[in-house]
Structures are given as C-alpha cells and as structure tokens.
Structure 1
C-alpha cells in the first residue's frame, strides 16, 4: 500500500495510474477508522482497478473548536488497519496546506437548500466545510467513483448536489450503514464512549425500528411524541432532534404521501458524544 503525504507526490501517482487506464475508487475519511470505513473500500474494490483512501481531519467542518480538539487521531493505527484489510492500494495523508494553500477557510456553496435542513440548523457553515474539502480532494485524486456511508445521509446528498453543480466527472455512491451487533451505527466518535454506554446506545437503533413499524399506522406527531418519551427515560442521553423527512429534499414532513420516499433521522447525545443515525422507512 502506497502512503502519500503531499499533493505533489499524489499528483505524480495519479498521473501514472491514469496513463495506465486505471479506474479509481475513492473514499475520503477523517481517520479513527473502523469496519464502517472498510465497508466503503469493500464496495469500491468491486468496480475499480485502484482503491484510494485519504485521512484528513478537516478543520473547517467543525463548529465547536473543542470537538475538533477531541476528535480521535491515531494515524499509525489507521495505516495498519488499511494495510491489514488488503482493500486499499494507496492512502493520501495531506497536510492542511495541501488542501488549503492560502487560508484555512471554506468556500460558500448553494446546495439548493439541502444545507439548511437538519444538521444545517444545528451546525451553521458545516456543509460549506464538507463541500470545500471534498471538492478539493476530488480535484486532486480524480476518482471515477467515490463512496460515502449512508449514516451521514445529509452529507451524502450534499456531496451529490455539489458534484452535480460543479459538473465534476465522478460518480458518488452511497453505502448502507454498517452497524455493530447491537445495531449501533459505527462512528469514529463511538470510540469516545465506554463499552457499557455503547451497549446502552443501542436504544437509538431500536427506536428507529419501532418508528419503521409505527409509521404505517401512527401519525407523525404521535411518533415524535413516542420517540421523545423514550429518551426522556434514558439516563445520560439527550435527544437533540428526531424528524421524518423526504429523502429527496430532506425537508421535514408531518404527513406521508404514497409516491414519496421517507427517512427517519435522529441525533442523540450520549455522555457528551453526539451520535447520528437514520433509517429508510419501508
């Protein structure tokens, strides 16, 4: 596995691969790797000649400086995980100057309103940071296909919208949420939870399954009341938000229309760690 640590080395590497006609699959990460990330590379392995990872903790997508400071970092562990997986041909580990050569600040994007829903209401400017780093990585890595997990479903939708608006020659592919045995969606932030709290947090997934059952026969306002009640009785957990939204527009809905696709979104803070999850409603 190639370990590439600056933009110039990456450019030379990509140029050689393109000259050989290699089809490139790419999944960017912020490190703290887990099996959910490896699932992206397993998917990429199916349809590409070359699979590339990147590890870069992007400062412009953190609203809270403390969150950036606490974000788990262990580059040697991450490299070992990638090597042992046998799924990745190269990993790009840029410095801040490789991504932000002048100022460490985001571009401003218009994502047709997708950025104003859900996470956008709680984390202003977050998706400008995401768009900026992903666009720059796409321009440097030049992938044919790029893979993102559906756990961050809004992020996935926004990256697809950015690619469409910027007319970038890359296909963005969503990969289903990878879950622990108890149903908890795997996340790098989970590493900050004690094992017993990870087990307790399975209530998030269990609640989404209940919502999937309820939505056939129960009104959305009643579903929201039931979800709120569940977390009111969970010690050490705070429900930040729960909503049901149209999968295409991400706009919250209070009523189901038969010709639309819907998804439940939930954010719960467990012992100070913010956990995000979602589920398509059948």
Structure 2
C-alpha cells in the first residue's frame, strides 16, 4: 500500500494504473476505521481492480460546537487494517492540501432541499461541507465506483443527488450498515460512550425496528409512531434530535406513491450523537437500488 499526501502524486499513481487498464474504486473516510469501514473496502475490492481510500477529517463539515478537535485519530491502526485488506493507495492529505487558501474563501458545493432537513436542520452547513469535500475528492481520484455506508442514509442521498445533478460518471454504491451483535450501528463515535451508555445505545435500533414492524402491519399514523419512539428514547436516557418516517427517495413526507420508506433517527446519549435508520419496501415491484432493509 502506498500513501500519498498530495493530489498531484495520487493522480499520477492513478493515471499509471489506468494506463495499465485498471478500474478504480474509492472509499472516502475520516479514519478511526472499524468493521463497517472494512466492509466498504471489501465491497470496493469486488467492484474494481484498484482501491483508493482517503483518510481526511474534514473541518468544513464540523460546526464550532462539534467535536473536530476530539474526533478520534488512529492512523497507525488504520493503515494496518487497510494494508491487510489489500488497499493499493491511501490518500492522507493535510488540511492545507485540501483548503490551501482556507475554508472561508474556498468554493463550496450545496445540494438544496435534501440537505436541509433531518441532520441538515440540526447541523446547518454540515452537508455543504460533506458535498464540497466529496466533490473535491471525486475530482482528485476520478473513480469508476465510490462506496459509502447506508448508516449515513441522508449523506448517501445527498452524494447520490450531487453526482446525478453534476453529471458525474461515478457509480455510487451503498453498503448495508454494519452492526454489533446487539444491533448498535458501528460508528467511530461509539468510542465516546461510557460502559453504561453502551448498554443503553441499542435501544435506538430496537425502536427503529419496532416502528418498521408497525408500518409493515399497516399502522399508518406516522406522527403517533414518531412521538412514541421519541418518548421511548427519552425514557431510556436519550435526548432525541429527530425521529422521522419519510420517503426514501426524497426524504420528504410519505405519500401514496412512496415505494420505499426510510425511518431516520438521531439522538444524543450523554454527549455522543448517534444516528441510525431502517428501510421498508412499500411496493414489492419497486426497484431503484436501495430497497434492502438494514
């Protein structure tokens, strides 16, 4: 595995691989890699000849009140995991390489509407930061395939829309959420949980599953289900941010034409913000690439 810190050096390596007839898959990460990330890498290896992974903690997607300075950094362990999985290229740029003139004067990419609800409502500017860095990394790597986790469902939706709207010739692949045995979605932020909080955390996935089962049994009073779920979370010790039942394509309200429902949830447990989701097919004949419940 070769590590590059500049776009110029990485592009040269990728260009050489392409001249040899190789296809390229890309997995962008912020490091502190866990089994969920490794599943993305394994999928990327199945999709292309060369796998490029980036590790960059993007300051543009963090607000002043968020945990940029304390975000876990485990570079040595990350490199060992990527090497063991056969990754060919690691891109690990410093902030100055990505934002040479600073973030305030850097061009930004905005994906309207779909970015403004759910996590976007409680984290203003977050998805502009995400779209900007992913767009920039796509331009550097120019992959055939890019792989993302479905745990960050709204993020994946934003990236897919950006790629469609900007005519990017990249196949965006979502990979089902990796979970611990008790159902907790694997996340770099799980390491912030105390031992007691870690025992409570699986309640988030449980109430998502229960809500999905209620909808599958034709219970369609969605506002009642959302309110009940938020109360369950409060009773367990969470501080809910949102618990929303929506159309999986638009991330807006469910309508009679909705083919797939996604239930999105975000809640704080202590100081740790957890997110998760589950999906449910409403129309068995639907086939638009994101139908698997996770």
Instruction: Name the TM-score, length of structure 1 as normaliser.
Output: 0.93
Moved more, 218-227 or 271-280: 218-227
Write the distance in 2 (CA, Å) between the matches of 1:70 and 1:165: 34
1:223 aligns with 2:221: no
Write the distance in 2 (CA, Å) between the matches of 1:225 and 1:154: 21
Write the distance in 1 (CA, Å) between the matches of 2:88 and 2:95: 23
In structure 2, the partner of 1:257 is 256
Write the distance in 1 (CA, Å) between the matches of 2:189 and 2:151: 13
TM-align CA RMSD: 1.6
In structure 1, the partner of 2:114 is 114
* Residue 110 (structure 1) shift: 4.3
In structure 2, the partner of 1:248 is 249
Q: Please state whether the residue corresponding to 1:69 is helix, strand or coil.
A: coil
Which structure has greater helix proportion? 1
Deviations along 1:248-275, one digit per CA (max 9) or x if unpaired, are 111134xx52643111000110111000
* Residue 193 (structure 1) shift: 1.3
Write the distance in 2 (CA, Å) between the matches of 1:131 and 1:164: 13
Change (3 A) 1:18 1:65: farther
Change (3 A) 1:232 1:196: closer
In structure 1, the partner of 2:287 is none
1:22 aligns with 2:22: yes
1:89 aligns with 2:79: no
Q: Please state whether the residue corresponding to 1:21 is helix, strand or coil.
A: coil
Q: Please state whether the residue corresponding to 2:205 is helix, strand or coil.
A: helix
Change (3 A) 1:183 1:87: farther
* Residue 92 (structure 1) shift: 0.6
Write the distance in 2 (CA, Å) between the matches of 1:94 and 1:110: 23
Please say if residues 247 and 258 of structure 2, whose CA atoms lie closer than 8 Å, have aligned partners that are also in contact. no
Please say if residues 25 and 52 of structure 1, whose CA atoms lie closer than 8 Å, have aligned partners that are also in contact. yes
Moved more, 210-219 or 139-148: 210-219
Unaligned runs of 5+ in 1: none
Instruction: Name the TM-score, length of structure 2 as normaliser.
Output: 0.90
Please say if residues 42 and 87 of structure 1, whose CA atoms lie closer than 8 Å, have aligned partners that are also in contact. no
Please say if residues 54 and 91 of structure 2, whose CA atoms lie closer than 8 Å, have aligned partners that are also in contact. yes
Unaligned runs of 5+ in 2: 282-294
Q: Please state whether the residue corresponding to 1:151 is helix, strand or coil.
A: coil
Write the distance in 2 (CA, Å) between the matches of 1:147 and 1:89: 16
1:98 aligns with 2:100: no
In structure 2, the partner of 1:31 is 31
Moved over 4 A (4+): none
Please say if residues 178 and 185 of structure 1, whose CA atoms lie closer than 8 Å, have aligned partners that are also in contact. yes
Change (3 A) 1:73 1:100: same
Aligned residues: 278
* Residue 51 (structure 1) shift: 0.8
Write the distance in 2 (CA, Å) between the matches of 1:87 and 1:264: 35
In structure 1, the partner of 2:285 is none
Deviations along 1:220-241, one digit per CA (max 9) or x if unpaired, are 1221222122122113x21111
* Residue 38 (structure 1) shift: 0.4
In structure 1, the partner of 2:136 is 136
Q: How does 1:56-67 map to 2 (within 5 A)?
A: 56-67=56-67
Write the distance in 2 (CA, Å) between the matches of 1:171 and 1:131: 16
